[in-house]
Amino acid sequence: MHYKRIYRIAITLISWMPMTTGAQASKKPFAALIPMPVHIEQSGAPFYITAATKIVAANKGLHSIAGLLNGYLAMAGGKQLPVITAGPKENYILIEIDSSVISQSEGYRLRIDKGAIQCTGRDAAGLMYGLQTLRQLWVAGKNKFSVPGCMINDHPRFNYRGMSLDVSRHLFPVSFIKKYIDLLSLYKFNTFHWHLTDDQGWRIEIKQYPKLQSIAAWRDETLIGHKKESPHRFDGKRYGGYYTQQEIKEIVQYAGDRQITIIPEIEMPGHALAALAAYPRLGCTGGPYKTATFWGVFDDVYCAGNDSTFTFLQNVLDEVLALFPSRYIHIGGDECPKNRWKACARCQQRKQLLQLPDEHALQSYFIQRIEKYLNSKGRQIIGWDEILEGGLAPNATVMSWRGEEGGKAAIAQHHRVIMTPEAYCYFDYYQSLYPEEPLAAGGYTPLQKVYSYEPLPAPADSVNEQFLAGVEGQAWSEYFTSDAKALYMIFPRALALAELAWTPPGKRNYKNFLQRLRAQKTLLQQAGVPYAATFDEIVFQSVHSAGNTVQVSLQSALPQSIIRYTIDNSEPGSESAVYSKPIVLSKTATVKAALFDEQKQRVGRLFKQSFRLHKAVGAPVVLQNKAVDRFNPGPAVLVNGLTGSSRYNDSQWLGFSGNDLQAVIDLGQQQTVHRLALQVLNYHWQRMWAPVCLQLLASKDGHLYTELYRQDAFPVNGINKVEVPLQAVQARYIKVIGINKGVIPGGEYGAGGNALLLIDEIVVE
Ligand code: ACM
Ligand code: ZN
């Protein structure tokens, strides 16, 4: 691969945190499989794989799969087994394809007894999944592997089971891509969605356009830190590279051998700045342009009025099609600002000529024109849910990422849909609220949340079932500054998604999943995956306010462990109080808690959370308008002593979309108030806008209110803290009004949509 490796020391800081003790890890439960199979029955004696065991593969066509099996044995420290074509009486592993044994595509049957292992696939994919199950079943010993006797009949729930990887923001070597493909097949994914082009770099060699290699593949420098920070800081180092067509062929072959389809994504009409830097005539203004050096959504996109844009993209796609045999090609379609099109004579001319009502329709024209081209080559398009705007291309598959609404709308139009709602399926978000977590894109998407996702909630709907192809997890790489960090962010959340994609919903159980996940440790370590073992850490079960106290419930999923805690700021040790019931706080304090295992050893990181107790804690709060579903933990969250964090979906923020905030707190009786405080969030890159006007009012009777404070500007990009000292105001009722920004202005992220107003913890002292 043609790129300069940039070594970063920071990767070693990612904690490898094995939380299970040695004793637990060796007690491998029976069939700790992920994803959980449809049907599994334990039976009889185990089979032992020894140096004398033979692989039986009746025909040559199965020899590459036999080779995979030998590779898996070697990875686990085993010996290579001879591959023969006809069966001995015993001590063999039979691999075969027989569609009469199992009816569902990609299904398999695995029979293990004392004499033999028989793995039968409905098709090559099924056979390979049977071997992945076998890999997860065996327990490697010194001279033999033992495999529990059992019978498994298994097939996937969804026929689309995908994981993406963005290689534009950060590049990963060919060896990493192969490793990723291996991991996807281990967990029975069948699709790798390869995000190859974006504003920050074009990563696929296109021979007809050499400047895509010499210019679009490179950026001058890269943002350091989070994109929300201002001013932006840069590393000053040129960064770039691309995959040669030869490398891509090799990877496509590698994936195909493992029954993984690679769907390439060539972004259009937005996220195209790198291509425009190379070929400025493809943009509305003609440039000059530069490959982006930071993360975001950029105004300069392909010109929709210029026919040479389509010539370029069709020529690019011709080379893409020659490399990727997939039925589906992802053409992006997300986050395309329309500012340039509105000001471009050629775009406007096209719009008038075709009598299009607006620029959304122009985008729809763009996508449909590309769809027609790809359909003529026997391929189908996938696009992000923005392709619904202005009208769907007739045969398009929709990838629903801004929630599920786009997917539902597309299903209603009888289009094929892949669900990947941001709140559940984006693995670039934080997976823990602990402050030590390495920098991530934002939000909070813990493992349990991914696991809880259900794309087809009961009752069954045959239209949904017919058009919902499956699910995908997203691995955007803005903050994946190393291979290790990418793996840390993707795993184990990808395993939760794998189970969602494969296992019948009735067989899913989070607690049981965690048990099986802990048993995957050996396999993941063998595969060199520094996964985030944060799922057993102490988290809140609940935080309630009652009276003037706050009741804090903690939990950990780690079996046979105890939580010890302090509220006096000391470090919890082996003699600190054992947590057994909710901690009741009656004054401002910090809860510190730590987990101790069976051996009384402390495991994991320190849990630490401060609470600010004040006069409104536990007081009734009445909201005039309904909070938006995504940010509605209930009005009591405003007075529970706990403040929302920058990981905005931490269940502490209350959010309003399309309406204003108006909250009235009843302190129960008239009191002297010396101070009011609250927080609002300004994250325009997440459509979160501080109110255009914030008003704090007080009343003695709940009718006549006096304004105490008003603020019209919130300059901080992030959490804006409002602290209002008062001259001993007498009040029983406190009213907070926040006027919503309303519709997001042009040029801003999410322009034209509703702004979110987020507020948390109204402090009354
Ligand atoms: C996306 O996350 N912009 C599809
Ligand atoms: Zn234009």
Residue 451 Cα to ligand 1 middle (Å)? 21
Active site residue 271: yes
| C-alpha to C-alpha distance for 186 and 492, rounded to whole angstroms | 13
What pLDDT digit, counting tens, does each position of 658-693 carry?
999 999 999 999 999 999 999 999 999 899 999 999
| C-alpha to C-alpha distance for 428 and 329, rounded to whole angstroms | 23
Are 137 and 252 in a shared domain?
A: no
Alpha carbon distances (Å) from 88 to 52, 147, 149, 150 = 11, 19, 19, 21
CATH code: domain of residue 469:
3.20.20.80
167 sits in the region (left: phi over 0; alpha: psi -120 to 50; else beta) called alpha
CB 742 within 8 A of CB 651: no
Biggest alpha carbon distance in the chain?
A: 93
Q: Which ligand is nearest to the CA of 265?
A: 1
Percent of the chain whose pLDDT exceeds 90: 90
Flag whether 509 is in a domain. no
Q: 279 CB under 6 A from ligand 1?
A: no
Residue 286 Cα to ligand 2 middle (Å)? 9
Environment class of 456 (CB within 10 Å of its CB; exposed 0-12, middle 13-18, buried 19+)? middle
CB 203 within 8 A of CB 513: no
What pLDDT digit, counting tens, does each position of 713-742 carry?
999 989 999 999 999 999 999 999 999 999
Nearest-atom number in ligand 1 for the CA of 399 is: 4
Q: 384 CB under 6 A from ligand 1?
A: yes
Q: Which of 198, 267, 371, 437 is catalytic?
A: 198
Q: Which of 335, 359, 386, 404 is catalytic?
A: 335
Q: Is the pLDDT of residue 7 over 50?
A: no
Q: Which ligand is nearest to the CA of 345?
A: 2
The per-residue pLDDT of the chain, averaged, comes to 94
Q: Is the pLDDT of residue 457 over 90?
A: no
Residue with CA closest to ligand 1 atom 1? 334
Record the pTM: 0.94
Flag whether 314 is in a domain. yes
CB 550 within 8 A of CB 613: yes
Retrieve residue 67's tokens: 């080779």
Nearest-atom number in ligand 1 for the CA of 476 is: 2
8-17, 161-170, 248-257, 507-516: least confidently modelled range = 8-17
Active site residue 96: no
Environment class of 245 (CB within 10 Å of its CB; exposed 0-12, middle 13-18, buried 19+)? middle
Q: Which residues contact 353 (CB under 8 A, 6 or more apart)?
A: none
Retrieve residue 93's tokens: 């592993």
HEC string of 507-549 equals: HCCHHHHHHHHHCCHHHHHHCCCCCCCCCCCCEEEEEEEECCE
| C-alpha to C-alpha distance for 9 and 637, rounded to whole angstroms | 40
* Average of per-residue pLDDT across 385-393: 96
Nearest-atom number in ligand 1 for the CA of 384 is: 4
CB 415 within 8 A of CB 467: yes
| C-alpha to C-alpha distance for 161 and 470, rounded to whole angstroms | 6
Give the domain-ending residue among 559, 578, 611: 611
Are 61 and 112 in a shared domain?
A: yes
What pLDDT digit, counting tens, does each position of 210-238 carry?
999 999 999 999 999 999 888 999 999 99
| C-alpha to C-alpha distance for 642 and 678, rounded to whole angstroms | 11
Flag whether 373 is in a domain. yes
Select from 384, 387, 400, 429 the residue to mutate for testing ligand 1; criterion: most ligand atoms less than 8 Å from CB: 384
Are 389 and 480 in a shared domain?
A: yes
What pLDDT digit, counting tens, does each position of 437-446 carry?
999 999 999 9
Give the domain-ending residue among 112, 127, 154: 154
Residue 472 Cα to ligand 1 middle (Å)? 12
Q: Give me the DSSP letters along 123-165.
A: SHHHHHHHHHHHHHH-EE-SS-EEE--EEEEE--S-SEEEEEE
Select from 168, 198, 335 the residue to mutate for testing ligand 1; criterion: most ligand atoms less than 8 Å from CB: 335
Query: What pLDDT shows up at residue 23?
Result: 36
Residue with CA closest to ligand 1 atom 2? 401
Nearest to 268 by CA among 211, 326, 195: 195
* Average of per-residue pLDDT across 111-137: 97
Percent of the chain whose pLDDT exceeds 70: 96
Q: Which of 170, 271, 415, 614 is catalytic?
A: 271
* Average of per-residue pLDDT across 145-162: 97
Query: What pLDDT shows up at residue 11?
Result: 36
How open is the CA angle 702-704-705, to the nearest 5 degrees?
A: 90
Residue 679 Cα to ligand 2 middle (Å)? 42
Residue with CA closest to ligand 1 atom 3? 334
| pLDDT classification of 28: cutoffs 50, 70, 90 | low
Q: Which ligand is nearest to the CA of 384?
A: 1
Q: Which ligand is nearest to the CA of 422?
A: 1
Q: Which residues contact 85 (CB under 8 A, 6 or more apart)?
A: 56, 57, 58, 59
Q: 335 CB under 6 A from ligand 1?
A: yes
Flag whether 573 is in a domain. yes
Q: Give me the DSSP letters along 279-341.
A: -GGGBSS-------SS-S--S--B-SS-HHHHHHHHHHHHHHHHH---SEEEEE--S---HHH
Query: What pLDDT shows up at residue 513?
Result: 97
Q: How far is CA 446 from the centre of its chain?
A: 10
Are 75 and 201 in a shared domain?
A: no
CATH code: domain of residue 727:
2.60.120.260
Residue type, 500: L
Active site residue 461: no
| C-alpha to C-alpha distance for 376 and 686, rounded to whole angstroms | 38
- Segments of 133-273 assigned E as strands: 139-140, 145-147, 150-154, 160-166, 191-195, 197-198, 201-202, 218-219, 223-224, 233-234, 239-240, 261-268
Domain that holds residue 397: 160-502
Q: Is the pLDDT of residue 1 over 50?
A: no
Nearest-atom number in ligand 1 for the CA of 332 is: 4
Residue 296 Cα to ligand 1 middle (Å)? 10
Give the domain-ending residue among 563, 592, 611: 611
Flag whether 523 is in a domain. no
Flag whether 577 is in a domain. yes
What pLDDT digit, counting tens, does each position of 58-107 carry?
888 899 999 999 999 999 999 999 999 987 889 999 999 999 999 999 99
| C-alpha to C-alpha distance for 168 and 186, rounded to whole angstroms | 25
Are 604 and 637 in a shared domain?
A: no
Environment class of 548 (CB within 10 Å of its CB; exposed 0-12, middle 13-18, buried 19+)? middle
CB 467 within 8 A of CB 392: no
Residue labelled with tokens 């809860």: 591
Retrieve residue 168's tokens: 């534009």
Are 95 and 167 in a shared domain?
A: no
CATH code: domain of residue 585:
2.60.40
Residue labelled with tokens 């400025």: 280
- Segments of 26-144 assigned E as strands: 39-42, 47-49, 54-57, 83-84, 92-97, 108-112, 116-121, 139-140
| C-alpha to C-alpha distance for 502 and 156, rounded to whole angstroms | 4
| pLDDT classification of 747: cutoffs 50, 70, 90 | confident
Retrieve residue 121's tokens: 């696939």
How open is the CA angle 337-339-340, to the nearest 5 degrees?
A: 105
Are 541 and 423 in a shared domain?
A: no
* Average of per-residue pLDDT across 391-398: 97
CB 450 within 8 A of CB 425: yes
Are 237 and 288 in a shared domain?
A: yes
Flag whether 565 is in a domain. yes
Residue 344 Cα to ligand 2 middle (Å)? 5
Phi, psi angles (nearest 5°) of residue 764 = -125, 120
Percent helix, strand and coil across the chain, each rounded to 5?
25, 30, 45
CB 168 within 8 A of CB 200: yes
Residue 222 Cα to ligand 2 middle (Å)? 28
* Average of per-residue pLDDT across 38-44: 93
Phi, psi angles (nearest 5°) of residue 610 = -95, 145
Q: 403 CB under 6 A from ligand 1?
A: no
Are 136 and 164 in a shared domain?
A: no
Are 665 and 579 in a shared domain?
A: no
Q: How many domains does the chain have?
A: 4
Q: Is the pLDDT of residue 595 over 50?
A: yes
Phi, psi angles (nearest 5°) of residue 305 = -100, -10
CATH code: domain of residue 94:
3.30.379.10
Residue 345 Cα to ligand 2 middle (Å)? 7
Alpha carbon distances (Å) from 461 to 118, 157, 451, 564, 634 = 37, 15, 22, 47, 31
Q: Is the pLDDT of residue 22 over 80?
A: no
Nearest-atom number in ligand 1 for the CA of 422 is: 2
| C-alpha to C-alpha distance for 247 and 423, rounded to whole angstroms | 34
Q: Which ligand is nearest to the CA of 309?
A: 2
Are 192 and 279 in a shared domain?
A: yes
Are 254 and 334 in a shared domain?
A: yes
| pLDDT classification of 18: cutoffs 50, 70, 90 | very low
Q: Is the pLDDT of residue 4 over 80?
A: no
Q: 749 CB under 6 A from ligand 1?
A: no
317 sits in the region (left: phi over 0; alpha: psi -120 to 50; else beta) called alpha
| pLDDT classification of 30: cutoffs 50, 70, 90 | confident
* Average of per-residue pLDDT across 34-42: 97
